[in-house]
Structure 1
Amino acid sequence: MTEIKNPKILISTNLLGGHSWLFIVVQALISILLGVIFLFHPAWIMIVLALALGIMLLGSGIQQFALMILTKKFSFLILLYGLLLLLAGLFLVANPFLGSLDLLLILGIWFIFHAIELFVGAARAKTVARSIRTMAMVNGILSFLCGFFITLFPLAGIMWINLVFAFYLILYGVMTLAVGFKLRSISR
């Protein structure tokens, strides 16, 4: 795992949080694989989406706590954010048959918060290469647009949401894959 160069970055993302390039590449490949599955098997989306999102939120919550421990910087807001991520993740994993409208609204709101997290992380990560910050910003824009449309049109139908989410996962995965390989080339 790469060393955290800027301990001031407490709200972080995998793209900027000091993870190894291999971790980021695996995350990207999983994102692309889920996107392809959702394109060809739309009936699976609600169960898989609930479980995948729950696991992703659990991982993000754990990451927030790990970053606080690694940077030795305690922040009540980061603690609260990490706790909310953990609770939301546990809820979704425990209740995979959550109503589709509620899940879609939660998903849309989470994408918007994730976009904010990416924007803040990219803006505060002055020591990270400009190209990586730019890719994080593009991911933030994709996250925001996806969250905005899901939140604005929750009744548009599972098929539409399925396509939007599938393409988002594929695009996010491709951008994250690019970041992972860029970090690999930098670390060598």
Structure 2
Amino acid sequence: MRLGILGSGSGSNMQAILDAIADGSLDAEIAIVLSDNPDAYILERARKAGIPTGLIDCRGFKTKYPLEVQAETAAALLKAEVDLVCLAGFMRLVKSPLMAVFPGRIINIHPSLLPAFPGLHAWKQALEQGVSESGCTVHYVDAGIDTGPIILQAKVPVLPDDTAESLHERIQVEEHRLYPEAIRIVASRL
């Protein structure tokens, strides 16, 4: 299973996938890592691991993911012979043509128990709403914002003294465990 990773930040989920590959618990390889942020640490992590990297040039847009750029992303993933696309902290909304090229083969990890708290800063939303538990979800990507079919979820209690940072940190521990497991499940279905 050849994975293409799209990320915008530190790459801790990509590192968890790499670690699972290294310890033999995930039979896969990361073929390419692409980022829309030239300063994202995910690119440095990939380079240190000897993984090819590339930049996604969104033409100066801060949040928009232009369709022609998505076509370029799809072409780079195809050239790398990617079987499954994993979004790992990728902060742009994926649509066609990327989804058309990889139908049912794009997954994402989100820091909430979807369908609760889709979108940005889900852990902050959970605290603001006063819920007793939060967590993370790995799901297939569809045309909506964090609305695709759920693959796996993990729960994390919200503690009385939690801050946004402490809750997010505990959620990330579960993300790092859950993402490789979800990739194994998806691989068994392809």
Query: TM-score, normalised on structure 2?
Result: 0.32
* Bigger proportion of residues as strand: 2
- Higher RCO (CA < 8 A, seq sep 6+): 1
* Bigger proportion of residues as helix: 1
